Structure 1
Amino acid sequence: MKNLKLSLFLAFLSILSAPALSQNLGGHPSGLDWQFIKTDAVRVIYPQGMGAHAQRIAYLINYMDQNNRRSIGGKKRRFDLVLQNQTTIPNGYVGLAPLRSEFFATPPQSANLLGSLDWLDALAIHEYRHVQQNLNANRGLTKFFYILQGETSWALLSHFSIPNWYWEGDAVVTETALSNAGRGRAPFFTLEQRALAAAGKNYAYGKHRNGSFKDLLPDHYRLGYMMLTHTRNKFGNDTSKDIMQEAAAYRGVFYPFSRAMKRHTGLGTPGMYREAWETKKTEWAEQLKNTDLQPTTPVTEKQKRTVTNYRFPRHLEDGSIVALKSSYKKTGAVVQIKDGKETKITTVGFHVEPYLNYGGGKLAWTELSKNARRGNQFFSDIVLYDLKKGKRKKLTQKTKYFSPIVSPDGQSLAAVHISPLQENSIHLLDPNTGQLIRKINNPDNLFLSRPAWTEDGKAIVCVAKRNSQLSVVKFDLSARKDSFGENTMTELLPWTAHTLDLPFVCGGKVFFNASFSGIDNIFYTDLGGSKNIYQVTSVPIGAFEPSISQDGKEVLFTEFTEMGYVVSKQAFDQKNAK
């Protein structure tokens, strides 16, 4: 009977066919001059002007190829990597048929998830781990069908035998182990799991594995990281490698990964999930036990049935609040909240990262657009909404702007600009026409994100990244030199591997969310550059996106729960800050 099942399974696989994917021709603007660097491990294909980035990527991949094989296996093969610089979508992937990778060079604005790790470094570590996974999964039955039918069968059989959470969880383990940052070190990465644990929600492995359109469930990156770190901690670093290789070889036709895990650990995947989940719940409960939590007051109520998110709350002059609202049932829209009543202002278009800001009577965000002719060219354009006139306007066309915010007097707009060659700067634009008024140069090419105006409109504060560390910096617009030179940039915080995001300036202070306490919370420092850090909130799961009332007595922020983000508030008293 066992031989009959195996024969039927092999016969089924032999007739599997995958749809042929045609080459995406004409995906780039004409005139791009493509060049390449070739090493023993990789051939990096890149547009002219991206040579320094390509060399860095090739160096990191070569280093991993030579030094980081023990936990995955010894197979190696040179592959092609295309460095794409015409997109605004931060991503990367590895695929088969043929074996190749693509890196989309524009980084995300928020540092909450990725942490301080430089974007292309993170891609090099994470995606090359996928290359190593694929190469070392080509064995046993998978290799047999690869020889018969090529890389399409290699891809099909390896992904049938190995769950998606292994591929991504193992890559996150690698990026965390090989850097001082990585997602595994960021409390934001375990946000959803900690919220579920605190609420007493314990889902079965099957539901967690397959996801839900109804309930909040962490994705396969987080599931895989939890499962594999527990396996490595209890059974050693090499165990997951042996499990993966036996699963890819189909030592056990049905559920080969779970069977391999049981051979090496005594537990199948459901049992390992339950054990890992209980272990992490105990760790998180102990963390909260040792944390001095402070009460917060809800502004928006936690929904009971539908996961709903309120993001980027901002105080308006009339005492009301605006926020970006979305849910599992509805797409994003800007809402106004006053006296407990919620009113929809306008919808927002498709975006890669959610974002909303307010200044000078105008709401600002960005929306994604695509070149209809060139499949690999994307744009990020600024959209404004005038609250007094009730009018929406797309300010820019076919640009690469991020995190826009209008100045307090409404006469200028600041936004991060990232060129195709990954040159980072802040542009000051006319909020009526979108015309460039001034360019704030960045000779060291720090990665800049999340600009915020000072109250007098004479300086801009933003998050900066260099050498996989973050800080908050202030740029003085009254300085004569239009650059980040001497006497123009002030570092407001020490450079750190902790996450920092979304500064807000009020009363000579800069408020921001950060991971200093082991849980994302709201902190502040002063505009003068003392680099002293004070903690404002202490919540159980995470607090983000601060806004301060005009009288400086109330801090507004988003707080995460098992039903999504809610808006919370807390009285602010400088004397009580830690």
Structure 2
Amino acid sequence: MTSKYNIKINYIRILTLFILIINSQIAFSQLFDGSQSHFRVKWKQINTDKFQLIFPGEFSSTAPALANRLELFIEQTASTLNRPSKKISIILQQNHISQNGFVQLAPRKSEFYSTPSSIADNQEWLPNLALHESRHFAQFDNLTGNLKKPFFEQLALALFGLNLPAWFFEGDAVLQETLFSNGGRGRLTSWNMPIRANIQSDLLFDFNKYVHGSFKDIVPSYYSIGYFMNSILYEKDPEIHGKILEEMNGNLLRPFNFERSLKKYSAQKSSQLFKSTIHDLTEKWNKATDINSPSSFEIADRFPTDYFLPQMVNNTVYALQHSRQLTPKIVRFENKNTKRLYKKVVQIGQQLMPYFHVQGHLIVWDEYRKDPRFEKQTYNIINVYDVNTGKTRHLTHNTRYYSPVLSTDLNEIAVIEVSLANRAQVVFLDSKNGAKLDSITMPTGTHIQQPQFHATGTKLIAIAVNEKGTNLIEINRSKKEIQYLLDWSNFQLERPIYIGEHIVFKANFNEKDDIYLLENGDISQLTDSQFGAFNPFASNDTLYYNTYTTNGYKVNIQPLIKNNEKRTTPPMVQTLYPRQNNTSYEPLLPAKDYPIQNYNVTKNSFNFHSITLSGNDFESFDNLKPGIFWISNDILNTTAAKLGYEYDTEIQKSTYSAELSYQRYFPKVSLSYKNRGQLGQATRNGNRDSIINFDYREHYLAADIQLPFSIYRGNKVYSYGINMGTSYQKRYNLSLSTLTNFNDVISFPLNYQLYFNKNSLRATMDILPRWGQNFSFTYRHLPFENELRGDIWSLRTNFYFPGILLNHSLQLRYSMQESAGRYLYSNDIPLVNGFANFLSPAVKNTLLFDYRLPIVYPDWSIGNMAYLKRIRGIISADYQNLSESDLSPKTAGAGLSFDFNAFKYPLPLFTFSSRLTYINDKTATARIVPTFSFGYSY
């Protein structure tokens, strides 16, 4: 009995490891960005015992200060764990303006997107990011740190993902950024607000929903619930994270490793810890809130929808709508009976944060842009929309401008610009042509956000952030002088505006976010919202602002009257947990010199780090072949190499391979070599009923060049490019010596592809783009062969149209091809469903219709195995060789798809699909054919 039990446990271990390592490799390989910086970036480096800091040359003046902080952060964030963090390479992507960062293995590195934006916080962006990511260094090294390059980094990454749930490692990192600073997300009331709103509104979602999210409801992310769960653990025992990781480290293949370790040291499983966390938060937030009753815009939205930044201009209220069913747009409201109706003003594109400003007949906003080839070369540009003419102008190009605001005379636009050295300045632009008129540079180390003009245009108010914390800053335009209006603190300040000579702004002074008035140095509270008030705008003694609800940010209106009983002397913001508030830490290390050296990209091109068992990193499960591969990736994503062996069990032949790709410059170049065994068939004396099998080996060399480009324009994404490739085959060791007409050499067939795609951005609930036009032309031929002849060309088109209801989509694909010679029986176009189940003549063209629609968003937990988020349907009709067919389709079908998350992993989103296809052909082996498929997406 014991023997059978052990066999069962070992089987579970092996099966679990196989499934979850595949899942982890899929998830992490997609989450980590494999794109490149521009080749013009001149990289520098600082080397210490703890890290290698790699950064663009323009950041050289700032890098030593960051290096000094990193030394401290790496030491602090590993202090409660059993092992110090090992040396790691950290790349500062200073040319990439998106605020983000990550740590990865395979290869081991971290990337910081280090440019601060206009997203308000309670401390500086880059130090906060460094604190957060430093904890991830320590987590990796304490759990799987013994598995290192040159062979085991991918295994270490997979085991990390297998063992640690995302809520634990991300929530723990948020805890560390809160412990070792005066800021951190643990002190942001706007960050914990969605959980508080759900609890106080009796929306008690279960643990799986908090981990996996929802299409239909606002569910706080696993970062936030993870922070609170980790905080409960930390309050019980500050050393508990080290104990859990140490216990897990020696049992990486043990089933339910994390749950066992958590149970051992906390006496609770994850689900129990979640329930106790929600119970604790319910008690902490059970205080009744005095709520005034402002006038709210009543808008009938089926799903949660935000209406950001309400602004009244010319008796019209404008807002920026963010909906799960629609992509972002600026709308204006109209009164009709007791409800408000809105009309679209202008569709906008991708933004780093929701933002726009209205003045007179002009609307300005910023949009995110990227270099067509190098995705880590990004920009923020300024757009202007004229309400009178209905026209949009792109006022700037390839700039790093944020938060544009119009002057009252409409002649100027003030923006914030951040240099490559992270120096901030206010820039004044001509509103007609975008020309730079003037600028005021801020003191070194001070970043400013969200400016607003005074009515006279002589001064501006903005938010200031530096190592001291946050403040309000007033900028004198003519004297180019600045004045700080408050004491430095750790409050999150947002959207300051002038009302006469006074200032209205949002702050989290009293354990939640509300609107305040600064008048002659005194602060008075203007709103008393239930969950939070944001984005103030004043007009004619009326205050317009956003209030947060469990259905999104809504527009509220109230008289602009200060509450003298609500005068505020703000204390410093605290967390909900005493132990976090009592933590003492060293804020800075003594100043130190850090030599700066050049970083040679070419010299560091090869970095072998892992052995893997799949030639395609498990990206496809079709015809999965056992093998072993040694892989290399440089830390700047310019060069990849792979050496490997695999065995095809179906034909019982082996393949030896080597691959190299280089993508530092505009073309992406790939070279590959394979020595592989193959099977072939021949007829005896031309008799098709007499088939002879034979085998052989071949040398196969291939070369491909890609020129891929993509750009954003408004709410459209354009991608276009050219691909070219060729190969050389040399066959040998033919098993059938009497075989005739066998070509042992195929020299350099050429293939070319041109493509152009234009698609709308997708809303959260969209299955496909609402609009899209996609074209691809391919040509293949054999120009260098004397004995082999033939060519094939194909044209593929793909169009998207809106369906009958929101988030429904109609896809139409028309393709045609023509082939001759060696390619006569090749198909380079999409085929009708069920093609393999009937005898088909040569395919000349196809016309494929697919109608997709969401059916229900169940948010169901299927035990601990899966979490079902959406069920959707598809109806299809497929035509083939249109000139030879009647109006009836060759095949027609219907199916269901189930979108779900597996286990406790929030990503990827897996899809299981089933379909029944009716085949309208006399030669069909079956009239109705069932098919099933499995895939994943992000």
Question: Per-residue deviation at 1:406?
Answer: 1.1
Q: Distance in 2 between matches of 1:161 and 1:102?
A: 23
Report what 2:260 is aligned to. Answer: 259
Instruction: Report if the CA contact (8 A) 1:302-1:566 is conserved.
Output: no
1:274 counterpart letter in structure 2: K
Report what 1:556 is aligned to. Answer: 544
Q: Distance in 1 between matches of 2:72 and 2:5?
A: 45
- Give 3-state SS (helix, strand or coil) of 1:285's partner: coil
Question: Per-residue deviation at 1:490?
Answer: 2.4
Question: Per-residue deviation at 1:51?
Answer: 2.7
Q: Aligned runs of 1:437-448 on 2, under 5 Å?
A: 437-448=437-448
Instruction: Report if the CA contact (8 A) 1:554-1:571 is conserved.
Output: yes
1:230 counterpart letter in structure 2: I
1:393 counterpart letter in structure 2: R
Instruction: Report if the CA contact (8 A) 1:474-1:492 is conserved.
Output: yes
Q: Aligned runs of 1:49-64 on 2, under 5 Å?
A: 49-64=58-73
- How big is each residue's C-alpha offset from its partner over 1:203-262, in whole Å with a ceiling of 9 and x where there is no partner? 1112212211111111011011010111221x2111233223334544773332222212
Q: Distance in 1 between matches of 2:35 and 2:417?
A: 28
Report what 2:450 is aligned to. Answer: 450
Q: Distance in 2 between matches of 1:178 and 1:533?
A: 29
Report what 1:273 is aligned to. Answer: 274
Identity %: 26
**Shift in CA distance, 192/249, structure 1 to aligned 2, threshold 3 Å:** farther
- Give 3-state SS (helix, strand or coil) of 1:417's partner: strand
Report what 1:138 is aligned to. Answer: 144
Q: Distance in 2 between matches of 1:509 and 1:207?
A: 44
Q: Distance in 1 between matches of 2:119 and 2:149?
A: 44
Q: Aligned runs of 1:149-548 on 2, under 5 Å?
A: 149-233=151-235, 235-250=236-251, 253-286=254-287, 289=288, 291-301=289-299, 303=301, 305-317=302-314, 319-339=315-335, 340-479=340-479, 483=480, 488-526=481-519, 530-548=520-538
Instruction: Report if the CA contact (8 A) 1:494-1:531 is conserved.
Output: no
1:120 counterpart letter in structure 2: L
Q: Distance in 2 between matches of 1:273 and 1:255?
A: 17
Report what 2:642 is aligned to. Answer: none
Report what 1:33 is aligned to. Answer: 42
Instruction: Report if the CA contact (8 A) 1:252-1:259 is conserved.
Output: no
Instruction: Report if the CA contact (8 A) 2:117-2:402 is conserved.
Output: no
Instruction: Report if the CA contact (8 A) 1:34-1:47 is conserved.
Output: yes
Q: Distance in 2 between matches of 1:333 and 1:42?
A: 44
Q: Distance in 2 between matches of 1:543 and 1:329?
A: 24
TM-score by length of 2: 0.57
Any stretches of 5+ residues in structure 2 without a counterpart? 568-938
- Give 3-state SS (helix, strand or coil) of 1:539's partner: coil
Q: Distance in 1 between matches of 2:104 and 2:149?
A: 18
**Shift in CA distance, 449/408, structure 1 to aligned 2, threshold 3 Å:** same
- Across the aligned residues of Structure 1 and Structure 2, the Cα RMSD in angstroms comes to 2.3
1:375 counterpart letter in structure 2: E
Q: Distance in 2 between matches of 1:214 and 1:197?
A: 18
- How big is each residue's C-alpha offset from its partner over 1:58-86, in whole Å with a ceiling of 9 and x where there is no partner? 22222234444342221431110111110
Matched, 1:85 2:88: no
**Shift in CA distance, 443/58, structure 1 to aligned 2, threshold 3 Å:** closer
Instruction: Report if the CA contact (8 A) 2:77-2:176 is conserved.
Output: no
Stretch deviating more after TM superposition (202-211 or 236-245) = 236-245
Report what 1:120 is aligned to. Answer: 126
Question: Per-residue deviation at 1:53?
Answer: 2.9
**Shift in CA distance, 333/66, structure 1 to aligned 2, threshold 3 Å:** closer
Instruction: Report if the CA contact (8 A) 1:369-1:380 is conserved.
Output: yes
Q: Distance in 2 between matches of 1:294 and 1:103?
A: 43
Q: Distance in 2 between matches of 1:5 and 1:92?
A: 41
Q: Distance in 1 between matches of 2:468 and 2:101?
A: 19
Structure showing greater radius of gyration is 2
Q: Distance in 2 between matches of 1:433 and 1:43?
A: 43
Instruction: Report if the CA contact (8 A) 2:77-2:135 is conserved.
Output: no
1:523 counterpart letter in structure 2: Y
Question: Per-residue deviation at 1:370?
Answer: 0.7
Q: Which has the higher strand share?
A: 2
2:293 counterpart letter in structure 1: P
Instruction: Report if the CA contact (8 A) 1:294-1:538 is conserved.
Output: yes
Q: Which has the higher helix share?
A: 1
Instruction: Report if the CA contact (8 A) 1:54-1:83 is conserved.
Output: no
Question: Per-residue deviation at 1:54?
Answer: 2.2
**Shift in CA distance, 59/575, structure 1 to aligned 2, threshold 3 Å:** closer
Question: Per-residue deviation at 1:507?
Answer: 2.3
Question: Per-residue deviation at 1:510?
Answer: 1.3
- How big is each residue's C-alpha offset from its partner over 1:37-67, in whole Å with a ceiling of 9 and x where there is no partner? 1111111111223234322232222223444
Question: Per-residue deviation at 1:354?
Answer: 1.2
Report what 2:105 is aligned to. Answer: 96
- How big is each residue's C-alpha offset from its partner over 1:499-520, in whole Å with a ceiling of 9 and x where there is no partner? 1011121222211100111111
Q: Distance in 1 between matches of 2:298 and 2:485?
A: 32
Stretch deviating more after TM superposition (152-161 or 360-369) = 360-369
- How big is each residue's C-alpha offset from its partner over 1:262-306, in whole Å with a ceiling of 9 and x where there is no partner? 2222211001100110110110113xx3x5432222124474x41
Any stretches of 5+ residues in structure 1 without a counterpart? none
Instruction: Report if the CA contact (8 A) 1:366-1:404 is conserved.
Output: yes
Q: How many aligned positions are there?
A: 552
- Give 3-state SS (helix, strand or coil) of 2:233's partner: helix
The structure whose RCO (Cα within 8 Å, separation 6+) is larger is 1
Instruction: Report if the CA contact (8 A) 2:116-2:418 is conserved.
Output: no
Question: Per-residue deviation at 1:9?
Answer: 4.7
**Shift in CA distance, 14/210, structure 1 to aligned 2, threshold 3 Å:** closer
2:348 counterpart letter in structure 1: V
Q: Distance in 1 between matches of 2:33 and 2:489?
A: 43
Report what 2:636 is aligned to. Answer: none
2:11 counterpart letter in structure 1: L
Instruction: Report if the CA contact (8 A) 1:158-1:248 is conserved.
Output: no
Stretch deviating more after TM superposition (12-21 or 405-414) = 12-21
Q: Distance in 1 between matches of 2:445 and 2:149?
A: 47
Instruction: Report if the CA contact (8 A) 2:60-2:421 is conserved.
Output: no
Q: Distance in 1 between matches of 2:47 and 2:93?
A: 17
Question: Per-residue deviation at 1:384?
Answer: 1.2
Stretch deviating more after TM superposition (148-157 or 373-382) = 148-157
**Shift in CA distance, 67/336, structure 1 to aligned 2, threshold 3 Å:** closer
Task: Pick the aligned partner of 2:115 from 100, 106, 113.
Answer: 106
Instruction: Report if the CA contact (8 A) 1:91-1:103 is conserved.
Output: yes
Question: Per-residue deviation at 1:197?
Answer: 0.8
TM-score by length of 1: 0.90
Q: Distance in 2 between matches of 1:23 and 1:177?
A: 29
**Shift in CA distance, 341/64, structure 1 to aligned 2, threshold 3 Å:** closer
Q: Distance in 2 between matches of 1:54 and 1:331?
A: 39
Question: Per-residue deviation at 1:492?
Answer: 2.4
